[in-house]
């Protein structure tokens, strides 16, 4: 069975097609971000009494990079969490079959191990940020806000699997992530000011959540529709595989430096009529 999955997912033709669709989907998401930014600039140019200063144009260019890197951060954060959730799922599903004695220890301490997995996912996300694609335009505060929104995204995925596939194995995980998300807002010494700041940070990144949800929904739908993604290995595992292809698409975009052709460092100074 393991050999079957390896041969299936490492089929170059099927994997290549899925990677191409993932790349085109990522390119479409970035096109939406850049088009939205261009519309904002045009509005400012129309209302401005004088041409926009070069400093302001360069500032806008950097903002585009920040938004794009924030989306990258959401993909990386989601992948890291899904990786350890998939590991949790596989251990919980198959350990009792192969190692019954070890399964007894797992059942006793799996809640603690789940917490450990979540902590490890944070370090893995940081590794993605530095080694896979170095994110240089967003600060740690923005990364924290994006990762908070990413936790809601994970909850949406788990809710989808729970109710669409009627799988009760995810009930504990759903409750766990909802608790984590709420804990970011209401911790033991929180203040109204810190609560509002966290809320504003999450609200600013809601458009990224919508883009991420739409992008991943399309990629997963395509994968299941073409039978590249399989339900037999666990929907959560197939969802992880889809996100790994998203990560690879980001890596290709970063290495080819295609964005430099669409984000000019010094845009035109002329107002548009």
What pLDDT score was predicted for residue 220? 95
DSSP annotation of 189: T
For 46-86, what is each residue's pLDDT tens digit?
666 556 666 666 777 788 888 999 999 999 999 999 999 99
What pLDDT score was predicted for residue 241? 96
Rounded distance, CA 239 to CA 215, Å? 12
Rounded distance, CA 38 to CA 263, Å? 10
Computed over every residue of the chain, the mean pLDDT equals: 84
Residues 6 or more apart in contact with residue 34 via CB below 8 angstroms: 64, 262, 263
What pLDDT score was predicted for residue 214? 95
Q: Are 263 and 254 in contact (CB under 8 A)?
A: no
What pLDDT score was predicted for residue 270? 43
Between the two ends of the chain, the Cα-to-Cα distance in Å is 64
Q: Are 152 and 181 in contact (CB under 8 A)?
A: yes
Q: Are 31 and 253 in contact (CB under 8 A)?
A: no
* Alpha helices for the chain (secondary structure H): 2-9, 12-47, 54-98, 100-127, 140-164, 171-185, 192-204, 206-225, 235-256
Highest mean pLDDT among 78-82, 131-135, 140-144: 78-82
Q: Which residue has the higher pLDDT, 229 or 137?
A: 229
Residue with token string 């290709």 = 252
Instruction: Judge whether residue 265 has pLDDT over 80.
Output: no
What pLDDT score was predicted for residue 252? 92
Instruction: Judge whether residue 184 has pLDDT over 90.
Output: no
What pLDDT score was predicted for residue 204? 87
Instruction: Judge whether residue 223 has pLDDT over 50.
Output: yes
- pLDDT-derived band of residue 268, with 50, 70 and 90 as boundaries? very low
Q: Which residue, 73, 177, 87, is CA-closest to 125? A: 73
Residues 6 or more apart in contact with residue 44 via CB below 8 angstroms: 52
């Amino acid at each position: 069975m393991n050999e079957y999955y390896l041969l299936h997912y490492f089929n170059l033709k099927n994997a290549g097609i899925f990677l191409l669709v993932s790349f085109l989907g990522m390119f479409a998401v970035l096109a939406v971000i850049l088009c939205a930014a261009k519309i904002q600039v045009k509005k400012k140019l129309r209302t401005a009494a004088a041409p926009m200063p070069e400093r302001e144009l360069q500032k806008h260019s950097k903002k585009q990079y920040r938004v794009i890197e924030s989306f990258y951060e959401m993909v990386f954060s989601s992948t890291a969490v899904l990786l350890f959730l998939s590991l949790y799922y596989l251990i919980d599903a198959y350990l009792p079959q192969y190692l019954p004695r070890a399964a007894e220890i797992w059942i006793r301490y799996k809640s603690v191990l789940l917490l450990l997995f979540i902590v490890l996912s944070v370090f893995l996300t940081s590794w993605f940020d530095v080694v896979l694609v170095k994110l240089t335009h967003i600060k740690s505060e923005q990364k924290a806000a994006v990762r908070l929104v990413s936790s809601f995204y994970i909850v949406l995925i788990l809710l989808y699997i729970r109710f669409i596939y009627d799988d009760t194995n995810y009930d504990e995980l759903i409750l766990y992530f909802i608790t984590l998300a709420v804990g970011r807002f209401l911790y033991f010494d929180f203040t109204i000011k810190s609560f509002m700041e966290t809320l504003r940070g999450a609200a600013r990144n809601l458009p990224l959540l919508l883009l991420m949800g739409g992008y991943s929904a399309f990629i997963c739908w395509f994968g299941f529709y073409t039978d590249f993604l399989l339900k037999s290995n666990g929907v959560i595992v197939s969802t992880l595989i889809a996100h790994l292809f998203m990560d690879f698409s980001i890596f290709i975009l970063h290495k080819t430096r295609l964005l430099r052709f669409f984000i000019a460092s010094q845009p035109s100074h002329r107002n548009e009529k």
